[in-house]
Amino acid sequence: MGKNSKDKKITLGGLLPQEIQGWKAEEKDEIYDPQTIFDYINGAGEVYRSYNFKLLLARRFTKESQPDIIADLFDMASSMDAFGVFTHDLEGEDAGIGQGSTYKGGLLSFWKDHFFVSLYSEEETDDTKNALLALGREVSSSIKKEGKKPDIVSLLPLEDLAEKDVHYFHNHLILNYHYYVSDENILLLDQKTEAALGIYEAKDDKHYLLLVRYPEIKKASHAYESFTKIYMPEAGKSGVVQTEDLKWTAARVKKNILIIIFSASSDTYAKDILEKVSKKIIKI
Amino acid sequence: MKKKAITRRDFIRVAAMTPFTGAFAYSIKAPGKKVTARKAKVVLVRNRNALISYKKPDPDIVQKMLDDAVSTLLGEEDIVKAWKKLVKPSDIVGIKSNVWGPIPTTKEIEQALKRRIMDAGVPEENIGINDRGVRRDPIFKNATVLINARPARTHHWSGIGGCIKNPIMFVPRPYDYHGDSCADLAVIWKEYNLIKRTKLNILVMLYPLFHGIGPHHYSDKYVWEYKGVLASQDPVAVDATGVRILQAQRRQFFGEERPLQPPAKHVFLADTRHNLGVSDPDKIELIKLGWKEGILI
């Protein structure tokens, strides 16, 4: 490992305490990069690679007769990706830590600046919960800056949208995790595309709004053509189709952003949403 | 010819045809694929006393559960004779285990299998137990027979970690198979000559994980004491049955239909795309032995 990585490790390690409520850090931290992450967290490593993570520092805390606590500190390089990876798994209650957090079943996750932090106890007890929350607050306070959320997320209409139903990502692997579209990458997503998925739930209605920003307008048009040709070939130029479940899918490109609504209750509603988002795009 | 993309529309079409097949749309045979008349047998054995304490199996009871499973599976009451149908004294046998920290295969299962392989006449020095080191282990390099034993759990990237996925450690770069939620994991069985050599698949369901959270995809909260083992010679049938049980537990726990996320598509594609085994419950003969309370299937 080169000098820069070593320095980075020291910086990351400095954000974590050596002791929390009687749990003491093991002597040696572990550090992983996008090539070695699978040695540590197996398949879930794909998630962090999908968000361009740079480095992960893992520190284990032990206390006699208590379950171990594991702190995973991810340097995501950008606050947008720290936010994005946080939105990958939003189960749990808000713990009020960092710029967004969840706590559930012995796992505290939060993001702040360009860091994503996962603190986890191998068994959940009242003591471990208290220690995890205290550790989270301490790590959060040692990260001095706050980071910006991706602005594409702000294009999602807020009506009927819960904060926990927003996901930000880059590639089709993550899209399919949250909302399966196709086994092939028919939206031409890659690490340079930025996507926001909103899951809207109202009475008897659940629909999905996907926004994808491409690096160039031309790429957005290609993606639109690819998607409509494979997913909704019968739509023609209208860009709207009624699917076999009697719901509606509609797509449109505005500037370099592709807008798709899935599972809308009517074609009118689908078109209204596309129009609403298009107007927001014009303003940015 | 270029492979046709499978889209959500295909699933919607299937669901529109019948209310039950939506979740299992991967069960549809790919156009042009040969439809075989294969059937598979799976044995589920459960015992109320399988665990001495949390995550601690009772070795004697586990031995009996595995014996009952193998006897029934092979239709041979004498357990040694049953194992002799799987291994011969000249075989080199690798027990492909799984060491994942929170829910491993367990020593009790490994030793129960090893004992019967030895009873069938295989010398101890020709039996290996390994997981992450199989590529360097001389026993596994030369194995004539593999016994595939691993715990059932939901998996962050493939939906379920089961018997189809377990041989992934034979592969130098496992992440090469991560595309489309590990859809084509079954190919490793062909690429690494595992189909004929793997004589038995044990999906350990003593305390499976039915839901996961966070980078480590684990919380004690989502472990339940099912106290069972599933056995089959068909890795697809055993996993497909495991998926049904995990899915039923999720439905019971969450009080609503909560599909695996991501779906365990590799299990169904192992059948419909790769012809590795049988995933259709109608073609699986499931024999249930032992404790019935909370069986979920």
Q: Which residues pair with A259 in a beta bridge?
A: A211, A252
Option in A70, A105, A186 nearest B221 (CB): A105
Could B174 and A38 be called an inter-chain contact, meaning their C-beta atoms sit closer than 8 Å? yes
Q: Which residues pair with A20 in a beta bridge?
A: A23
pLDDT tens for each residue of B251-270:
999 998 888 988 999 999 99
Distance CA(B42)–CA(B96), nearest Å, equals: 19
Residue B6, CA distances (Å) to A72, A252, B25, B170 in order: 36, 22, 10, 29
- A126 close contact with B: CB closer than 8 A: no
Percentage of chain B with pLDDT > 70?
A: 92
What residue segments make up the domains of chain A, in order of their start? 3-142, 151-283
Residue B115 is encoded by which pair of tokens?
């004992």
- The whole-number pLDDT of residue A126 equals 94
Count of helices and strands (H, E) across chain A: 8, 14
CA nearest to A274, candidates B40, A258, A263, A22: A258
Could B261 and A177 be called an inter-chain contact, meaning their C-beta atoms sit closer than 8 Å? yes
Rounded to a whole number of angstroms, the distance from the CA of B259 to the nearest CA of chain A is 12
pLDDT by residue for chain A (284 residues), tens only, comes to 444 555 555 588 999 999 999 999 998 999 999 999 988 987 788 899 999 999 999 999 999 999 999 999 999 999 999 999 999 999 899 999 999 999 999 999 999 999 999 999 988 999 999 999 999 999 999 999 999 999 999 999 999 888 889 999 999 989 998 999 998 899 999 999 999 999 999 878 899 999 999 999 999 999 999 999 999 999 988 999 999 999 999 999 999 999 999 999 999 999 999 999 999 999 88
- A110 close contact with B: CB closer than 8 A: no
Dihedral in degrees, nearest 10, Cα atoms B87, B89, B94, B98: 60
Q: Is the pLDDT of residue B24 over 50?
A: no
Distance CA(A207)–CA(A201), nearest Å, equals: 7
- B182 close contact with A: CB closer than 8 A: yes
Tell me the mean pLDDT in the region B138-150.
98
- The whole-number pLDDT of residue B19 equals 42
- The whole-number pLDDT of residue A149 equals 97
pLDDT tens for each residue of B182-233:
999 999 999 999 999 999 999 999 999 999 999 999 998 999 999 999 999 9
Q: DSSP letter at A219? A: H
Tell me the mean pLDDT in the region B157-172.
96
pLDDT tens for each residue of B277-291:
999 999 999 999 999
- The whole-number pLDDT of residue B29 equals 53
- The whole-number pLDDT of residue A171 equals 95
Residues of chain A found within 8 Å of residue B250, distances taken between Cβ atoms: none
Pairing of strands B159-161, B40-46: unpaired
- B248 close contact with A: CB closer than 8 A: no
- The whole-number pLDDT of residue B26 equals 58
Rounded to a whole number of angstroms, the distance from the CA of B219 to the nearest CA of chain A is 6
Give the DSSP H/E element, type plus range, for residue B15: helix B8-17
Rounded to a whole number of angstroms, the distance from the CA of B102 to the nearest CA of chain A is 8
Pairing of strands B284-290, B40-46: parallel
- Phi, psi (degrees; rounded to nearest 5) at B200: -155, 140
Distance CA(B265)–CA(B274), nearest Å, equals: 12
pLDDT tens for each residue of A11-35:
889 999 999 999 999 989 999 999 9
Residues of chain A found within 8 Å of residue B218, distances taken between Cβ atoms: 120
- The whole-number pLDDT of residue B27 equals 54
- A57 close contact with B: CB closer than 8 A: no
ipTM of the complex as predicted: 0.82
- B219 close contact with A: CB closer than 8 A: yes
- The whole-number pLDDT of residue A38 equals 87
Could A184 and B213 be called an inter-chain contact, meaning their C-beta atoms sit closer than 8 Å? no
| CB-based burial label for B137 (10 Å; 0-12, 13-18, 19+) | middle
Residues of chain B found within 8 Å of residue A104, distances taken between Cβ atoms: 213, 219, 221
Same fold yes or no, A3-142 and A151-283: yes
Distance CA(A230)–CA(B6), nearest Å, equals: 9
CATH number of the A3-142 domain = 3.40.1000
Model confidence band, residue B10 (pLDDT cutoffs 50, 70, 90):
confident
Tell me the mean pLDDT in the region B15-39.
55
Query: Strand order in A257-264's β-sheet?
Result: A161-169, A194-202, A205-213, A257-264, A248-254, A240-242
Option in A44, A182, A230 nearest B156 (CB): A44
The pTM of the full predicted model, rounded to 2 decimals, is 0.88
Contacts with A, B 133-172, CB within 8 Å: 155-158
Q: Which of B150, B180, B257 to mutate to test the interface with A (most CBs of A within 10 A)?
A: B180
- A25 close contact with B: CB closer than 8 A: no
Distance CA(A44)–CA(B158), nearest Å, equals: 10
Does the domain at A151-283 match CATH 3.40.1000? Answer given as yes
pLDDT tens for each residue of B90-128:
999 999 999 998 999 999 999 999 999 999 999 999 999
Residue A172, CA distances (Å) to A178, B88, B92 in order: 10, 48, 43
Query: Who contacts B287 (Cβ-Cβ below 8 Å, separation ≥6)?
Result: B41, B42, B43, B44, B72
- B90 close contact with A: CB closer than 8 A: no
